[in-house]
Amino acid sequence: MWRAITRIPKTLESLGQGVAVLPQQFQHSQLYNKHNNIRSITNYPSLHNEASLIKPKYRMSSVKPKVVFVLGGPGAGKGTQCSKIVERFHFEHLSAGDLLREERSREGSEYGQLIEDYIRNGKIVPVEVTCSLLENAMKNSGKSRFLIDGFPRNQDNLDGWNRQMSDKTDMQFVLFFDCAEDVCVTRCLGRGQSGSGRTDDNMDSLKKRIQTYNNDSLPIIKYFENAGQVKTIDASPDADKVFQQVERVFVSNGFQ
């Protein structure tokens, strides 16, 4: 169950003290151990020097936008709840996955095939691409409150955010949708069967996504939890009951 997050030694730096480094030998239970042979994506240009890949034309406002990270396993209901938060609290919803899928399908995108291969194999797209897409979307929105859905998903994402975006934003908290695995699997497969159009809403991709979530994303949630910045939501009930919990969290944190 994703509810049981393995404890991590408290060697991580606090959020305000720079970039944290998770222990390299962190061991995490895996839902699908037999799927460890996911192939690596190679033969693509290095992205570490491509921070200006999708560089905004203008600098972001001097008033730091407020950011809430929204995390949870595949099928935990992040997108559904973000839509409700947007309506109730007037946030701008930025889905890292949606932004990547849009860039993948954009005609002439240099990194479209790279993004396609990473998503199809349940792997996490290089952070330089994701941060650039997020920054551009924030700049273009004209808003000051943002839900960043599905990010940061691993240590590389967190490090990249700290390098590129942490000084430009005011991170409020992490909204963690904690959901039973069987519920998540059923939701994802049902979404795929109903014509979601997502190439990763199938069992093969789902197994890889779950493995990636267990290995890479849960440690990041635990890191923020140790820093006292996680608001945990029981995401197994129906959407309206889940949102009752979400609404209480936002109101208690000063959002009206």
pLDDT for 21 equals: 38
6 among annotated binding-site residues = no
Q: Is 54 annotated as a binding residue?
A: no
Q: Please check if 222 is assigned to a binding site.
A: no
Asked whether residue 227 is marked as a ligand-binding residue, the answer is no
Residue 71 β-bridge partners: 176
CB 216 within 8 A of CB 123: no
Flag whether 5 is marked binding: no
User: 151 among the known binding-site residues?
Assistant: yes
Q: Is 77 annotated as a binding residue?
A: yes
Quote the pLDDT of residue 35: 37
pTM recorded for the entire structure: 0.71
80 is in an annotated binding site: yes
Predicted pLDDT at 241: 97
Determine whether the annotation assigns residue 160 to a binding site.
no
Is residue 208 marked as binding?
no
75 among annotated binding-site residues? yes
Per-residue pLDDT of the chain (256 residues; tens, 9 = 90+): 455 443 333 333 333 443 333 333 333 333 333 333 333 333 444 444 444 445 554 455 568 999 999 999 988 999 899 999 999 999 999 988 889 989 999 988 888 889 989 888 878 788 988 998 999 999 999 999 999 998 998 999 999 999 999 999 999 999 999 998 888 888 888 887 877 667 667 788 888 888 889 899 999 999 999 999 999 999 999 999 999 999 999 999 999 8
Which domains, ranges and CATH numbers included, belong to the chain?
66-250 (3.40.50.300)
The two tokens of residue 192 are 């795929």
Distances (CA, A) of 200 to 80, 117, 124: 18, 11, 13
- DSSP 3-state assignment of 230? strand
Three-state DSSP class for residue 129: helix
End-to-end CA distance of the chain: 34
User: Is 79 flagged in the annotation as binding?
Assistant: yes
